[in-house]
Structure formats: structure tokens, C-alpha cells
Amino acid sequence: MGDPRTILVCLFGAVLYLTESQALQCYNFEHTYLSPFDLSGKSLPTVSCSSRCFEAVSSLSTGYRSSVTMVKKGCWSGPSNGQMQANQDSMPPDYSMVRGCTTDLCNDNIMNHDSIPNLSPAPDPQLLSGTECYACLGTVPEDCTPDKSRRVQCHQHESVCFHGNGRITIANSSVPVYIRTCHRSSCTIMGTTSPWTHIHLQGSCCEGNLCNQGSVSQVFTSAADPSQETPTSATAPSQATPTSATAPSQATPVAVLFLIVPLLLGTIGGPLGLSS
């Protein structure tokens, strides 16, 4: 019969090999952009995951060609399905997409700014409301001072100005945002949300040209009217409802290890000097 210590070492090696060989390889990446992003041709780092990969993008825009976009890729965590909620009457414009998958390096769909819709479309017809506002968006208050903001002519249905702050969150990652822009008179500010992403904003609307020059770092009472915050829910199976599956094949070798090793230690404790 072989040396018990050799048997134990071989067993450890076999289990670790099985666990590693069955682990899922996923791209592992996170970054926040203040301009259109492009990951094409970049060598992204990878990580071993137990069962699923994921990728997500959340973007907030002034509606006037300024945006903050957060991209995250890695191992799937959190609930396996859920609903993306949005309010079509809400401003400023934003967008979130979440995608889960179960094959090696499958989280490679969100690779450039073309992955999200245009959040600053020109109005059709190109009519203006007559209101002029400051417009800016950044991740620190200094990005959004009045002297660094653009002066924009508001689109037809945007007759008031807005300034505020908030956060963009994907999974356990979060970035602050500071914003000035045009807004509708309803001043509804409900960001897109899901079990994995959240765009939260608070701020203040005002009437009059360039009235949104106050501090964007102050604490605001939410400008949204609760009576107008009835979100429309839409399930997006290819985006927000990734495949849900348990992964017994990954868990089994580890479980076997924990079951067998104590038995072996009890059997060969003498030769290894482990018995009291």
C-alpha cells in the first residue's frame, strides 16, 4: 500500500485540478467614462468564476452631448433574474443594461458606446422652448461649475432648468455624479433601476434663463413628484434576466475534499504526526 502522505498530496492535487479546470473564465473590468468608450482591441484581464459571467453598462446624459458611463464585467452575483424599471417621463435621460452568460469569456458584448442608445438625439422637429440653461455632467463638483458648463438652448418640451447630484451603481460599485441641464416642467427625476443597477438623482428645478447656477454638491430634497413616479416595468430576457442555473459540478469536488480529508487524516494521523 502506498505512503499515506503521498495519497493525501495526490488527492489534494486531483481535487484542485478538477476545481480549476471546471471554473468559468470571465472578463474582469470596471471603468467610468466621461466620453464615448471603446474597448475593442484592448486586452482585458480575466477572472475565474464559479458559475456565471456578467457585464453591465449604465449611462446618464444631460441630453446635450455630455454623459457619464459606467462599464463593469466580472463574476455574476446577486439575484438570477429581475426587472428593469424606468419612467419614460423622467429626465435627465439615462440607460442601463445587464447581461449574464455561462460560457468562457462570454461577457464580451458591451465593448463600445454603440452598445447603448443615443441619449442626446436632436429633437424632431427642431423646436426650442426659449429657455437657456447651464449643462454639464461630471464625477466631482469641480467638473460642473457654471464656468465649466455649456449654455444650451432647451428643446421644446424642456422649459425649466435643473441642477443636482446622485450616484450610478452597478453591483457593489458606485460613482458619484453632478449635473446641470434642461428639464421638463414636471421635474420628474426617477433613474433607471434594477436588482443589479441603480441610477439615483436628487436636485432642484427652477424657472428662468441660466437659473441653475447653484451648488451641485448640496443636499437636495428630491425634485420628483411622487404622484408621477409610476414606473413602467419591462422584463428584458436577453439583458436583465440571465440564465439561472446551479453549478453542482463546480461544488462537488470541493465537497468531496471536505468529506474525504478528515477521514484520511484520522487514518494516517500517526505517520503525519497529527494525533495527540
**Is 10 a member of any domain?**
no
The CATH number given to whatever domain includes residue 189 is 2.10.60.10
Total structural domains within the chain: 1
Confidence of residue 223 (pLDDT cuts 50, 70, 90): low
Share of the chain above pLDDT 90, in %: 59
Domain, as residue range, for 129: 24-234
- Cα 189 from Cα 195, distance rounded (Å): 19
User: Has residue 41 got a pLDDT over 90?
Assistant: no
What is the tens place of the pLDDT at every residue in 69-93?
999 999 997 777 778 887 777 789 9
Model confidence, pTM:
0.74
**Is 258 a member of any domain?**
no
**Is 2 a member of any domain?**
no
Q: In terms of pLDDT, which residue wins out, 124 or 18?
A: 124
Task: Residue 10: count other Cβ atoms within 10 Å of its Cβ.
Answer: 11
| The length of the chain, given as a count of residues | 276
Taking alpha carbons only, the member of 48, 235, 82 closest to residue 171 is: 82
For the residues 5-18, what does the mean pLDDT come to? 44
**Is 259 a member of any domain?**
no
Task: Residue 87: count other Cβ atoms within 10 Å of its Cβ.
Answer: 18
**Is 54 a member of any domain?**
yes
**Is 264 a member of any domain?**
no
**Is 112 a member of any domain?**
yes
What value does the mean pLDDT of the chain take?
A: 78
- Cα 61 from Cα 114, distance rounded (Å): 15
Taking alpha carbons only, the member of 142, 50, 147, 145 closest to residue 102 is: 50
**Is 268 a member of any domain?**
no
Which residues, in sequence order, are CB contacts of 54 under 8 Å at separation 6+? 26, 73, 74, 75, 76, 77, 98, 99, 100, 101, 107, 171, 196, 242
